[in-house]
Chains A and B, each alone.
Chain A
Amino acid sequence: MVNEKWLERIPADGPFYLFQGCFINHNYPGIEAATRFILDKLKVKYFVSEDQSCCGLPEFGTLANPLILTCLVGRNMDVMQKYAPYVLTPCNGCYSAFHTSATLMKDPEVATKTGEVLGKLGRKYSHMKIIHFADFIYKRLEDIAVKSVKVLGGLKMAVHYGCHYFLFEEEGLDSRENPSFAEEIIDRLGGEHVNYTAKDECCGFGMIQQVVHKNMAYAITEEKINSILNAGAEAILVICPYCLNVLDKNQKVLKDIELIEKAIPVIHISQLVALVLGASPDKMGFEKHSVDVKPFLDSIEERKMEFKGWSATEVASSLK
């Protein structure tokens, strides 16, 4: 069951500030292209600005300095709120940066110091609503389904939400216990989701562990992938570029040393939705993926219009 309260609060039509994240911008531009494609298709207005900087989460994650996060987040929000009242992001890292900053700001010492630093810039810590792009997709799922020109044909997909999506349950669609909204998206667009036991587990990235303790990171990815493969999945759907990177690249390595039987494509939800809305597969940046996405692309089919006869209301409206 999705969090209806949050669903109601997601503005269906924007306008949004589309947060520019470094990892998508510099490594997975296909996710950005797909995200913009979807917003354009749905005729939703969005803004970007060169006055925006990085989110600050990687630096908090390494140096454990709360101020670098709160100051960057506070400054960015002060910049962005001039464009739109809501921020959209297709990255769990940027997403959790905003929420983590809000948590740290509850500490009076952190809040005071942050206020002082931002004051020197003539800025203040402003609050904006952060919306994960996956949530937005769910909000507009019916429109997307109606506007879709392709369908996901029968490929079995496992969803990996990523730990940081679940940090702020009141402002997210699902809880870590048994999330299901992305599975619903898959099914609605003609695909078939599979459940697996390690769904709520980490991808292996571990903030610094993929670099600092590589063997630990690989071991966790291995567990995750084997659970996914055991469930019979043929592709993995993610909502975060970091999860995409780790699950995709680590699978290649794990396959080479035979710790997993096969490697399967990893797709970001923006890419999947853009494709059913008619985006060209050449424009999704798949050249940056390590595991070949061909099995996934091959499963996408033209949507056949089934004619089941006119309904009474349709007849009525056509006569108007």
Chain B
Amino acid sequence: MATVTLAKALNEGLRKTMENDPKVLVMGEDVGALGGVFRVTDGLQKDFGEDRVIDTPLAESGIIGTAVGLAIRGFRPVCEIQFDGFVFPAFDQIVSQVAKMHYRSGGHVKLPITIRIPYGGGIGAVEHHSESPESYFCHTPGLKVVTCSNPADAYWMIQQTVANDDPVVFFEPKRRYWDKADVEMTGTAPMPLWKARVARPGNDLTLIAYGPMVKVALDAAAAAAEEGKSIEVIDLRALSPIDWPVVEDSVRRTGRAVVVAEAPSYASLTSEVAARLQEKLFYSLEAPVLRVTGYNTPFPPSRVEEDYLPDLDRVLDAVDRSLEA
């Protein structure tokens, strides 16, 4: 057991995969001597050398495109995209090549590539450093998408992701990088990568969240409990595919669901959750499925980001509206 930040947990998880599998490579901008701008790869180059921890030229399309070649050659590249807003130069490689290679090759070519992306707002950053682009990747068949919300998941999920034979986009909630928790680092992973987790049990309503918003949802559930409301919180963890049985079992029981995410709502992952619940659980629902999300604008200047991002009040407001419906 060790008390670590989420960033350190990722670092330890990466270290372990590199120790266990000599084919694992880390590549990206500033991942070497600097250890990444968030220090997630701190010390890895020193310990595993420049052949395995590669400071790449400054070109995201190049990072992912060469990772494809390395993967074809039998390596397991773990690519770091420095910030959410900088993944788009690599979008073509990810969507047209990474996502489709296994399908196109009739299963002959596996691409076990991990694409790590720090995402989301809340750190007062300048533009392009606070975005939540997960829906683009969830929308792309052939990609899997996961995100962690706490240090323990960070530690185990990154290892499970790297071990996975499919390309996986691994979103890291950057505003939670400095959150600390006790993490059991020995033994085996406490749960499969593709399982959603009931983060707090409850009976009256299900709050569905992931990544940075899990903490907000838990805080909201705790505040609601003081008013006698019993809220269940589900941490999705896997965003594509979603672990529907866990989500549906919960909502079937509570009859009410509120979905929370930082990303804009329009044609998004939260749309997907709402649509699915309506399709599958129409007769169990006591209220419309509500969503609390970022607004459908570009991420705003940091001095108004608190008004843009879902917070405790907005989540509780939606909880009340659902319970009153």
Asked if A and B are interacting partners, one says: no
Chain B residues proximal to chain A, CB less than 8 Å? none
Chain A residues proximal to chain B, CB less than 8 Å? none
